[in-house]
């Protein structure tokens, strides 16, 4: 896959008869949907024609350090840069958006975002609804002026709560609707809002099936009547319209929920809102059915956690801090050894919800102090975890894909831009020295590096990594393993068991 992503101001007809100023990608809001198969390389030239600094981040996609869209890698107005990396993770609905230093909120609000969908053959085997029955939907809330301009003018109070709007745009469209038949639909729901949290439901309260979260499919569908969707998060659901008569309609909406800010007299967090209306226009039912099981995954084991890191989320004056500090681009706040299982414990001592997001790894929710059992939307692989006021949420994580400096932040974009962000460094694994003599391969690493396990794979993207069974021996101060490549050249890596 290749192509170019040109970000520039544009005027779009969002409301009939009006021209609305936006920041578009290749002329559109949202930007083009990037679709790749697992194992393919993602390549794009990002052209910044915005007239101010810009960098794009591939949210949920595990990208190498300098490709990940860290704000220090932003480019000046008029510049472009090349992105290129292989995508090796399981199928999932990811997205991309601006990640510019202190301009993320404004740029994303103006439209700099799009879907990034990863597919793989394993997922295709479940017979889920496809093509016209596979619908990505991104929710954004706006404040709109009388001349139909998107207003972004956060007050100090807006920065405290995050910028909330009262007009919904779904895939950039107000009063959005979708014509459907009486079949089964796969909806990929993305919360692309700066601060608004949705409690997604059908207006008649009918159950639907939750099949996936941030990092792809769940082990099995879960029937729900509503699900929380915080900024940055994704939910994949199956909705069966065979329950509706042809000629009827049903609204996808956000239900009201208590707690969590908003300005007096302005838009509030947790208010009921219409998202999108489905018109059941055709009697066709298709042949997709809800699978009994989906994609199994191996949960991280809390017993293997090597440490717990505590992140205290607090209010300080008019801003939100992590462990008492605001973001400093030059400071690295903590270091994570490559491959270690860790528990990250979020303690929210304030009165605002914080959807916490770490780059460079996916995680699993372990516990939530406010709930005896986890809600289904906490299931599967996550990259953004909602931490409600007063709550302590623990997640299990492991950084085992890329080393380097990445960011960890609140995905309430006003919180992020006002400093609720950290730098952390994933320390590299030891360098593996590989020497070949015909089919005999000698692998070694420093003696000081204890407890690593050597694995090999037939392909660099490592769909399957196998343990190299030989025990390492110390030779000249290095752990050494000698193997014979009888079935062809292989790739090797060190991982923490
Ligand atoms: Cu979608 Cu660093 O974020
Ligand atoms: Cu991200
Ligand atoms: Cu926050």
What's the gap in Å between 61 CA and the centre of ligand 2?
7
CA 188 to CA 5: how far, in whole Å?
22
Ligand nearest to C-alpha 416: 3
CA 475 to CA 164: how far, in whole Å?
62
**What value does the mean pLDDT take over residues 232-256?**
97
Q: Is 407 in the pocket of ligand 1 (CB under 6 A)?
A: yes
pLDDT in tens, 102-154: 999 999 999 999 999 999 988 989 999 999 999 999 999 999 999 999 999 99
pLDDT at 497 over 90: no
What's the gap in Å between 161 CA and the centre of ligand 2?
21
pLDDT level of residue 463 (50, 70, 90 thresholds)? low
pLDDT at 340 over 70: yes
Q: What was the pLDDT predicted at 214?
A: 98
Task: Tokens for 440, please give them.
Answer: 């005999």
| CB neighbourhood size of 129 (10 A) | 21
Q: Which of 121-130, 194-203, 207-216, 461-470 has the lowest mean pLDDT?
A: 461-470
39 vs 325: which has the higher pLDDT: 325
Q: What was the pLDDT predicted at 403?
A: 96
pLDDT at 259 over 80: no
Q: What was the pLDDT predicted at 1?
A: 46
pLDDT level of residue 305 (50, 70, 90 thresholds)? very high
Average pLDDT of the chain? 95
Q: Which atom of ligand 1 is nearest to the CA of 359?
A: 2
Among 364, 401, 413, 399, CA closest to 385: 364
What's the gap in Å between 77 CA and the centre of ligand 3?
29
- How buried is 372 (Cβ within 10 angstroms: 0-12 exposed, 13-18 middle, 19+ buried)? exposed
pLDDT in tens, 24-82: 999 999 999 999 999 999 999 999 999 999 999 999 999 999 999 999 999 999 999 99
pLDDT in tens, 356-381: 999 999 999 999 999 999 999 999 99
How does DSSP classify residue 352?
A: S
Q: Give first-to-last CA distance, the chain, whole Å.
A: 34
Phi first, then psi: what are they for 82, rounded to 5°? -100, 135
pLDDT at 265 over 80: no
Q: Give, using CA atoms, the residue closest to atom 1 of ligand 1.
A: 59
Q: Which of 121-125, 311-315, 404-408 has the lowest mean pLDDT?
A: 121-125
Task: Tokens for 213, please give them.
Answer: 């979260």
What's the gap in Å between 314 CA and the centre of ligand 3?
9
Q: Is 232 in the pocket of ligand 1 (CB under 6 A)?
A: yes
Q: Which atom of ligand 1 is nearest to the CA of 97?
A: 1
8 A C-beta contact, residue 322 and residue 420: yes
8 A C-beta contact, residue 26 and residue 32: yes
What's the gap in Å between 20 CA and the centre of ligand 3?
29
Q: Is 357 in the pocket of ligand 1 (CB under 6 A)?
A: yes
Task: Tokens for 19, please give them.
Answer: 């021209």
**What value does the mean pLDDT take over residues 15-29?**
98
pLDDT at 187 over 60: yes
Q: What was the pLDDT predicted at 461?
A: 64
Task: Tokens for 442, please give them.
Answer: 């000698």
Q: What was the pLDDT predicted at 2?
A: 57
Q: Which of 206-210, 387-391, 489-493 has the lowest mean pLDDT?
A: 489-493
pLDDT level of residue 451 (50, 70, 90 thresholds)? confident
Q: Is 209 in the pocket of ligand 1 (CB under 6 A)?
A: no
**What value does the mean pLDDT take over residues 407-430?**
97
pLDDT at 260 over 80: no
pLDDT at 460 over 80: no
**Residue 445 to residues 22, 32, 104, 453, 475, Cα–Cα distance (Å):** 52, 44, 41, 11, 10
* Residues by chain with Cβ below 5 Å of ion ligand 2: 59, 359
Q: What was the pLDDT predicted at 487?
A: 86
């Amino acid at each position: 896959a290749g192509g170019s992503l040109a970000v520039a101001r544009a005027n779009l007809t969002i409301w009939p008869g009006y021209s609305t100023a936006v920041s578009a990608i290749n002329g559109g809001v949202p930007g083009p949907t990037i679709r790749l198969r697992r194992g393919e390389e993602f390549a794009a030239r990002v052209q910044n024609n915005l007239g101010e600094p810009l960098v794009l981040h591939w949210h949920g996609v595990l990208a190498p350090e300098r490709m990940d869209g860290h704000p220090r890698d932003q480019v000046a107005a008029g510049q472009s840069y090349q992105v290129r990396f292989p995508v090796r993770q399981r199928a999932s609905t990811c997205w991309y958006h601006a990640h510019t230093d202190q301009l993320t909120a404004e740029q994303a609000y103006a439209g700099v975002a799009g879907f990034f969908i990863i597919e793989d053959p394993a997922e295709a085997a479940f017979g889920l609804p496809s093509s016209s029955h596979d619908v990505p939907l991104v929710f954004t809330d706006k404040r709109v002026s009388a001349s139909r301009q998107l207003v972004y003018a956060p007050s100090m109070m807006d920065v405290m709560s995050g910028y909330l709007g009262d007009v919904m745009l779904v895939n950039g469209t107000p009063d959005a609707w979708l014509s459907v038949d009486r079949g089964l639909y796969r909806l990929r729901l993305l919360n692309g809002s700066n601060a608004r949290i949705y409690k997604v439901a059908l207006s008649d309260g009918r159950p639907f099936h939750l099949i996936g979260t941030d990092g792809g499919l769940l082990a099995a569908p879960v029937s729900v009547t509503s699900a929380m969707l915080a900024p940055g998060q994704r939910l994949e659901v199956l909705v069966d319209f065979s329950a509706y008569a042809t000629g009827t309609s049903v609204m996808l909406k956000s239900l009201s929920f208590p707690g969590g800010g908003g300005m007096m007299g302005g838009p509030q967090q947790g208010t009921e809102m219409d998202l999108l209306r489905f018109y059941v226009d055709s009697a066709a039912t298709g042949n997709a059915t809800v699978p009994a099981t989906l994609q199994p995954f191996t949960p991280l084991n809390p017993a293997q956690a090597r440490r717990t890191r505590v992140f205290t989320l607090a209010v300080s004056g008019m801003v939100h801090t992590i462990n008492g500090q605001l973001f400093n681009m030059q400071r690295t706040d903590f270091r994570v050894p490559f491959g270690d299982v860790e528990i990250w414990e979020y303690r929210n001592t304030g009165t605002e919800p914080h959807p916490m997001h770490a780059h460079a790894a996916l995680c699993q929710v372990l516990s939530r102090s406010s709930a005896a059992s986890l809600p289904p939307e906490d299931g599967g692989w996550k990259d953004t975890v909602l931490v409600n006021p007063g709550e302590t949420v623990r997640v299990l994580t492991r950084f085992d894909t890329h080393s380097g400096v990445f960011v960890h932040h609140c995905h309430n974009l006003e919180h992020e831009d006002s400093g609720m962000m950290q730098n952390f460094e994933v320390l590299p694994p030891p360098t593996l020295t590989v020497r070949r003599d015909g089919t005999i391969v000698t692998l070694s690493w420093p003696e000081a590096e204890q407890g690593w396990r050597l694995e090999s794979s037939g392909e660099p993207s490592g769909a399957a990594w196998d343990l190299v069974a030989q025990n390492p021996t110390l030779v000249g101060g290095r752990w050494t393993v000698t193997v014979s490549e009888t079935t062809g050249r292989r790739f090797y890596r060190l991982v923490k068991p």
